[in-house]
Every structure is written in C-alpha cells, then in structure tokens.
Amino acid sequence: MHTRHITRYAAALLLLAGCATPPTPPAPPADPAALSSALNRITWGVNLTTYQQAEKLGYEAWLEQQLHPRPAVLPAAAQAQIDAMTISQKPLPKLVEELEAQRRDYDKAMVDDDAKKAAQRAYQQELNRLAKEAATRSLLRDLYSPNQLQEQITWFWMNHFNVHQGKANLRVLVSDYEESAIRPHALGKFRDLLSATLRHPAMIRYLDNEQNAANRINENYAREIMELHTLGVDGGYSQNDVQQLARILTGVGVNLGDKMPNVRRDKQDQYQRHGLFEFNPNRHDYADKVFLGQTVKGRGLAEVDEALDRLCRHPATARYVSRKLAIYFVADEPPPQLVERMAARFQSSDGDIAAVLRVMFTSPEFTQSLGHKFKDPVHYVVSAVRLTYDDKVILNTGPMLNWLNRMAEPLYGHQTPDGYPLTESGWASPGQMTTRFEIAKAIGGGAAGLFRGEGAQPQEKPAFPQLSNALYYQSLKKTLAPATQQALEQAASPQEWNALFLSSPELMHR
C-alpha cells in the first residue's frame, strides 16, 4: 500500500471528519441517496442487501417491518456460530449453578496456594469466555439480522439500563440480561422493559439491591431508577422519594442457590422466586410509604409494581426517555418541539416505544438531521464491516471486540450506571480519529482477521472488500463532499481507496 498517499489524504479527511458535516440530503425516499441516508440512521449502517430490501419493499413498508419485526432469520453461517455458544445451549440458572459450584470448590479446597490460584484463574477465564460469547452474539446480530432497528434499539436500552460486566459474576449474567430482559421489550411497552430490568439478577446485583433490606436500606438502585431510567435528574423527585422507593424495593434480590429461605409463616404466601430473582418477605419493609406525593400501602412486591406504574406514567419520564431517544437517533441537541411530540405520544400510547419512534422517524426534524449524527465507536465499527462485506459472514469478531476496547467502548464495559455518551464530544478526540483510520486501513486492506477463525487449526476464508460497488455508485457517491471525492480519485490502489473511503468524514456520520 502507498503509505505516503494515505498519509497525505488521511490528515485532511480525518480533520474534516471531526469538524465538518456532510450536506443535508433530501427527504427519504425521494432518491437513492436519500433512501441510503435514512437506512444508514435506522440500521447499524447501510449495506447493499439492506438497501435492496428497502428499495423492493418501499421505504414505508420497510420501516413498518422494522418497527414491528417478525422473528429474525440470520444467515446460516452466523446462526451456526450463535447456536454453538454455551450461552445458547445452557439456561442461565444452570450456568450460574455450575460456576457457583466451581467457585465454592476452590474457596473450600485445602490445597496449596498455587493450586488455589490456578482454580481461581480458571473460574475467571470461564466468566470472561461467557462474556465474550455474549458480545460476539450481539455483534453477529448487529451485522446480519434483518431486524436492524430491533438490534440498534437493543443496544440503546442496554446502554440506558447499563450494567457493568466487571462486577461480581455479571459476566455470566449479561447474556441473559440482553436476551430476556432487554431484547423482547426493546420495541414494546416501556413499563414492561423497566419491570424486566428490575427483576433481572444482573441489574439487582449491579446496583446492590440484594443488600437492600428493612432497617438496612441501600439507596443505590432507587436513586438510579429515578435519575437515569425514568424521571431524569430534573424530574421533580426529592431525596425523600429516593428513600421511600428504596424502602419499597426492600426484599427484591437474587437467589443463586437451590434453597428457599426460611420465610416466617405469616408471610410465606408473599415469597416469590422466578429463576434467579427472589422477593424475600423477611427483608421487606411492610410499613406504608409516601412516594411522589402519594401513599403506597405496605403489602410486599405489589408495592414495586405500583411504584413502577407511577414512574412510567409521569410526564417527566415521557420527556426524559423521548429526549434520550432523540439524542441517539436525531441530534446531540434534539429540537424541543420534536421531543415534546414524542413525549405526548409516549403518554397517549402508555409508553409504546415503537409508536414514539414512528413519530420521530416520520418527522421533518429527523429527515433534516440525516448525515449529521456522529458515530460512536460501536456504530463506526459495525457500519464499516456491514458496508465492506455486506452479508458475507465473518468468522471472528475478535478484531471488532479489540477495536471497541481500543476506542474505550467495549460491550458491557461502562463502569458507571449512566452508560456511554451518545454525543459527538465523547468520541471525536484526535486519538479516537487516529484509531479509526488504523481500523479503516485494516478493514480496507482485507487484513483485519475477520475471516480467520480461532483455535489450533483456524479456518480462513480470504475476503477482499469491494467497496466501490453498485451501492456506492448509485447512492453513496452522491453524498460525498468534493474534497472526499477528489481524495478517492487520487488513490493509488484499491486498498488505499478503501481506507480513504472508510475514514472519510461522511463515513464518520450517519
């Protein structure tokens, strides 16, 4: 590859990527370029297969399918990788049971320090392997699922209801958290989504609610539910509301074993166990509470449902959630009028996420924003691989996971409950842009390792990217600025052309 050419044009392109935004395309689906721009925002990144599907169906029919998806059918090669995973073959309680037994064995073992350290290391390695399976499954779906909006909004909610895999044994829990708590409700009712996250052991452990008990209150989860999950920091609640919600949440916890606690006789009918979720009446504060200005009668787990109903129907929740969706899909500073219309639909539809998204996707503000939203690292990596290789299934997500680590956005890796930033300022540093150019070179040159499997005798399927395809000439070329087109015309090789194209300012935006 001619490094001097890449160096000469890369600097200009990367500078443009950080400070310039491509011209606004017309409303979809007026022409191929506009259709491509709309698809690029609603999916994880436009590619030839998705473009042809939307063109055949018509944009409106395609959008309807995205908002109300049928079960996804992935390419056989991608589905085979998912089916082979441990997380696909064993239910969460079984996985946890096996790992807990492994942990107890080395804790109790009367062995020398070296043997104990080796056993601890094996336990940690298994947790890491399971977490990598979850991240790999997520990326394969992002790349190849026909239900692109469902996958993108699943990532959004995973970030909104963030848990950090590094805490306790969350590395074994994140796969089920994404699969059973987030994905099934990602386009459904917000109330169902909130309830599913509250009842999942990943959230309960991450925000310490298993330590929350009558006369030993832990406010962590109660505070984050209101500040980050529903009302927002300016949502009108008080510190007293945090304390009252924490009391309501007492007894909500996790049971990783197979034994039921010794519940006192008069409360045995209150005890609940669903998988690893447990409501233990012994730990619950049964006194009445006053939450958001209204009395909540002390009666056990039903108090939690009452509190969630109140939070989900609060106008502040409608505004907060709608604004965050608009930040993700429209602009770092979304138009207030759009947010208000979305919030009104949130309330009138009782928190129907698909209905709120429809208001946003069919708005003039959404159309005017196309091509201007800066890609965070996950969007950049996934969109680049989708565009480069279309539906040719990669054999190894390891390079993608490594790139996300390098750019500080690993899946399930954000330590604090606020999730990764959704705005350009969090991701547009010079260091980030340099790393993106290195990734563009690796992908564009066909040497990224995506088609080389892992193991002692790795399978390899050579795949050289053909980015200057029909999609490029039909639609993408029309969205490129003159400076970008001029740089591409001077590329000295196909590899250099690919690298420059993938590192262009237009490819940094969606």
Q: Please answer whether residues 150 and 411 qualify as being in contact, where contact means their C-beta atoms are separated by less than 8 angstroms.
A: no
Who's near 431: CB < 8 A, 6+ residues apart?
none
35, 61 Cβ separation under 8 angstroms: no
What radius of gyration do the chain's Cα atoms show? Answer: 24
Token duo for residue 2: 């001619």
Give residue 28's pLDDT: 56
Residue 193 has pLDDT above 50, yes or no: yes
Instruction: Give me the percent of the chain exceeding a pLDDT of 90.
Output: 83
Taking a C-beta distance cutoff of 8 angstroms, is the pair 99, 259 a contact?
A: no
pLDDT of residue 110: 58
Is the predicted pLDDT of residue 21 greater than 70, yes or no? no
Position 117 scores a pLDDT of 85
**Angstrom distance (rounded) from CA 388 to CA 468:** 9
What is each CA distance from 39 to 32, 149, 377, 455, 486, in whole angstroms? 11, 10, 19, 36, 26
Question: Looking at the whole model, is its pTM more than 0.85?
Answer: yes
Query: What is the per-residue pLDDT for 458?
Result: 72
Taking every pair of C-alpha atoms in the chain, what is the biggest distance, in angstroms?
81
Q: Tokens 């590329």 map to which residue? A: 491
State the chain's mean pLDDT as an integer: 93
pLDDT above 80 (res 111): no
The residue among 372, 375, 377 whose CA lies nearest residue 479 is: 372
> Mean pLDDT throughout 356-361?
98
Mean pLDDT of 264-283: 96
At 290, is the pLDDT very low, low, confident or very high (cuts 50, 70, 90)?
A: very high
Alpha-carbon span 247 to 346, nearest angstrom = 28
Confidence of residue 466 (pLDDT cuts 50, 70, 90): confident
Q: What is the pLDDT of residue 246?
A: 98
CA 264-267-273 angle, to 5 degrees, is 95
Stretch (H or E) spanning 295: strand 294-296
CB 314 within 8 A of CB 148: no
CB atoms within 10 A of CB 6: 24
Query: What SS3 string covers 413-445?
Result: CCCCCCCCCCCHHHCCCHHHHHHHHHHHHHHHC
Name the band, by pLDDT with cuts 50, 70 and 90, for residue 12.
Answer: very low
CA-nearest of 43, 78, 34 to 62 is 43
Q: Are residues 109 and 116 in contact, defined by beta-carbon separation less than 8 angstroms?
A: yes
DSSP conformation class of 393:
-
**For the ranges 21-30, 188-197, 313-322, 367-376, which has the lowest average pLDDT?**
21-30
Residue 351 backbone class (left: φ over 0; alpha: ψ -120 to 50; beta: rest): left
Among 216-225, 256-265, 404-413, the least confident range:
256-265
What is the per-residue pLDDT for 13? 52
pLDDT for 460 equals 78
Confidence of residue 453 (pLDDT cuts 50, 70, 90): confident
Other C-beta atoms within 10 Å of 218: how many?
Answer: 17
Q: How many CA atoms lie within 13 A of 448 on its CB side?
A: 33
Helix, coil or strand: residue 315: helix
Residue 1 confidence (pLDDT) above 60: no
